[in-house]
Amino acid sequence: MPHPLRHSRVVLARFQHEGGNPSKPQQGRRSLLTTILASLVFAASPTQTAQAAQTDAPRPANPTGARAETVATGLENPWGLAFLPNGDMLVTERPGRVRYVSTDGKVSNPLIGAPKSVATGQGGMLDIAVAPDFATTQEVYISFTEGRGRRHKTGTSVARLKLQGTGARARLTGGKVIFRQLPAYASGYHFGSRIVFAPDGKMFITLGELGQRKQSQNLQQHLGKVIRLNRDGSVPPDNPFVARSDAKPEIWSYGHRNPQAAAINPATGALWTVEHGARGGQGCSTLTAA
């Protein structure tokens, strides 16, 4: 089993392309990841020694032309972040917290009203995304590992909430779970999960296979899938498996292991995902409906 993330000193770092305008930090921040979660330390495992024999592509002399700037410190296992219209951020910490991080680097106390997550293995409080019309709706979406009854069963769930206030006064209200991955398993890894809004307003959510590899091909389960939903959790009528009685209607694509990154190509509107593969075998894909 892959080891969960461990941390020493974790920071949020903003990457500024050389030649950019540091006085306007919001330029381009929505087009690509201009802020990343940095200084994560992965636990080593004897089963990972096969990575040493892999051949990596040659590194360019100047791979990014970017410089890093520390934005905030003191976070524990930061997992997801979302920019607010004013440039502030909401950041999830995998152990089960959501923080408000101001542009000046101030980190709030844990926000009241966050969904109750289970921090088991790689699971916990996962991704966070703000609605495209956040300025008027204040809607926030969070994916998290949810406990499901007895025998330590868990699965990935998504909640819709509203953000009230800013900075130290920020809080989450009106939480409602709009999706639950089924079935649940007693698993500590491969939960996914990213939330992405498509140009048409629909939501893509990536789901890992909870360590149940064969189930990623099973259309009667949500494991190892990318799903597509309306913002209230209902199923769009043009999803590819809506008319099939032997498939979950939420499914957009299947056969995934643990997709932990996702983004919309701003030029084409296509969904891109990054698969967290075994022993360093990551892969980037452009997804279309199955």
Under 8 Å between Cβ of 36 and 15: yes
104, part of any domain: yes
Residue 130 lies in a domain: yes
The reply to whether 144 falls in a domain is yes
Residue 139 lies in a domain: yes
Q: Tell me the residue range of the domain where 195 lies.
A: 7-16+31-39+68-287
Which of 54, 135, 126 is CA-nearest to residue 92? 126
> What is the set of active-site residues?
190
Domain-embedded: residue 218: yes
pLDDT digits (tens, 9 = 90+) for 148-204: 987 799 999 999 999 999 999 999 999 999 999 999 999 899 999 999 999 999 999
111 with 140: CB under 8 angstroms? no
Beta bridge partners of 206: 226
Q: How many residues does the chain have?
A: 290
Per-residue 3-state assignment (H helix, E strand, C coil) for 132-145:
CCHHHHCEEEEEEE
Q: Which two tokens stand for residue 207?
A: 């789901």
Is 2 inside a domain boundary?
A: no
Region 109-126: mean pLDDT is 96
Is residue 258's pLDDT more than 50?
Answer: yes
Residue 278 has pLDDT above 80, yes or no: no
pLDDT of residue 57: 65
Contacts of 77 (CB under 8 A, 6+ apart): 5, 7, 10, 40, 93, 94, 95, 124
Per-residue model confidence (pLDDT) at position 282: 56
DSSP, res 172:
E
Q: Which of 14-23, 26-35, 230-239 has the highest mean pLDDT?
A: 230-239
CATH code for position 89? 2.120.10.30
Q: Is residue 45 part of a domain?
A: no
Please state, in angstroms and rounded to a whole number, the distance separating the CA atoms of residues 107 and 89. 10
Side by side, the strands of the sheet bearing 35-42 are 35-42, 5-17, 66-73
pLDDT of residue 151: 79
Give the DSSP letter of residue 52: G
Task: Count how many domains the chain has.
Answer: 1
> In sequence order, what are the beta bridge partners of 81?
91
Residue 11: C-alpha distances to residues 98, 205, 207 (Å): 15, 26, 26
State pLDDT tens for residues 203-252. 999 999 999 999 999 999 999 999 999 999 999 999 999 999 999 999 99
Cβ–Cβ under 8 Å, residues 111 and 100: yes
Q: Where are the beta strands (DSSP E) in 18-53?
A: 35-42
**Which range has the worst mean pLDDT, 91-95, 246-250, 254-258, 273-277?**
273-277
Does 55 reside within a domain?
A: no
